[in-house]
């Protein structure tokens, strides 16, 4: 069992417990459930295109940053002029939580992406209830029917959908009907090696009506300018900011060069 299989296995158990403790009817009574969402798609297309991520650790890099507070970081990201903020919510493997999502929502007026391993419709209602504006769907862990069902439910709740792929096969098996953005993860899930060539090679296969997002391994303005030539409008950046002492300030300096 590889690390992704372990994450999905644990996530299924976690979701089943949550569904018993906090059923969907409970989530729908959240004050945030009725709020009008911000459009991450429009913000990416009309802004800097940077989606800045808050995460404390990862299975590949272990500890990244356990000192910076989510409130300080997201406020810094907003000041920097990012198009959106990604909040990594998994607790066991990434050190995140739904509390991070709530704190971020209460701190900024920007679109927030709930970056999570979504394997159940329940998590989409949960995202809405905790203030997210968009969700991530990971093609490699979902079937074609699940991608369609989950993305359709997200759109019905007013959430944008970012579908993450790693290769041609994942893209071709995916039902993109309700998908707004296609994100290419430049990290090989088997070797954890990162290459921007992944985004470049897959760019021409992504339908022109989908916003292209490049994820992982983006650490320079040069890389962004290069990827723009391949039609990418969005760039998800996490570790490049989070591994510094002050991620918000790092983002401000980075975006000032765009």
DSSP 187: B
Catalytic annotation on 164?
yes
Q: Which of 11, 55, 128, 200 is catalytic?
A: 55
Distance CA 158, CA 37 (A): 7
Distance CA 165, CA 134 (A): 17
Catalytic annotation on 200?
no
Distance CA 198, CA 176 (A): 20
Q: Which of 58, 83, 216, 240 is catalytic?
A: 216
Torsions phi, psi for 137 (to 5 deg):
-115, 130
Catalytic annotation on 53?
yes
Catalytic annotation on 186?
no
Is 95 strand, coil or helix?
A: coil
121-134 per-residue burial string, b: 16 or more CB within 10 A, e: under 16: bbbbbbbbbbbbbb
Q: Which of 11, 65, 68, 115 is catalytic?
A: 115
Torsions phi, psi for 112 (to 5 deg):
-120, 130
Burial classification of residue 120, based on how many CB atoms lie within 10 Å of its CB (0-12 exposed, 13-18 middle, 19 or more buried) = middle
Q: Which of 215, 239, 240, 250 is catalytic?
A: 215
Distance CA 251, CA 77 (A): 6
Q: Which of 11, 39, 48, 53 is catalytic?
A: 53
Within 10 angstroms of residue 69's Cβ, the number of other Cβ atoms is 12
Catalytic annotation on 204?
no
- Tokens describing residue 150: 């989950």
Catalytic annotation on 222?
no
Catalytic annotation on 170?
no
Q: Which of 164, 170, 239, 250 is catalytic?
A: 164
- By C-alpha distance, which of 4, 26, 7 is closest to 192? 4
Q: Which of 185, 186, 199, 240 is catalytic?
A: 185
Catalytic residue set: 53, 55, 115, 164, 185, 215-216
């Amino acid at each position: 069992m590889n690390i992704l299989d372990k994450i999905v296995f644990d996530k299924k158990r976690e979701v089943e417990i949550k569904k018993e403790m906090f059923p969907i009817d409970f989530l729908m009574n959240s004050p945030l459930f009725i709020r009008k969402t911000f459009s991450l798609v429009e913000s990416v297309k009309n802004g800097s295109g940077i989606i800045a991520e808050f995460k404390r650790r990862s299975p590949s890099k272990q500890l990244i940053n356990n000192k910076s507070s989510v409130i300080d970081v997201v406020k810094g990201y907003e000041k920097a002029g990012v198009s959106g903020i990604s909040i990594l919510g998994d607790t066991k493997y990434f050190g995140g939580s739904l509390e991070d999502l709530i704190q971020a929502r209460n701190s900024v007026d920007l679109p927030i992406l709930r970056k999570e391993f979504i394997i159940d419709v329940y998590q989409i209602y949960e995202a809405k209830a905790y203030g997210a504006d968009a969700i991530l769907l990971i093609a490699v862990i979902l079937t074609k029917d699940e991608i369609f069902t989950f993305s359709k439910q997200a759109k019905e709740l007013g959430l944008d959908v970012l579908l993450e792929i790693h290769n041609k096969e994942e893209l071709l098996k995916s039902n993109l009907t309700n998908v707004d953005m296609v994100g290419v993860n430049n990290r090989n899930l088997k070797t954890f090696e990162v290459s921007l060539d992944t985004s470049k090679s897959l760019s021409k296969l992504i339908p022109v009506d989908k916003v292209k997002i490049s994820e992982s391994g983006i650490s320079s303005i040069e890389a962004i300018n290069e990827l723009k030539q391949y039609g990418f409008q969005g760039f998800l950046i996490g570790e490049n900011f989070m591994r510094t002492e002050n991620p918000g300030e790092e983002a401000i300096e980075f975006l000032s060069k765009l």
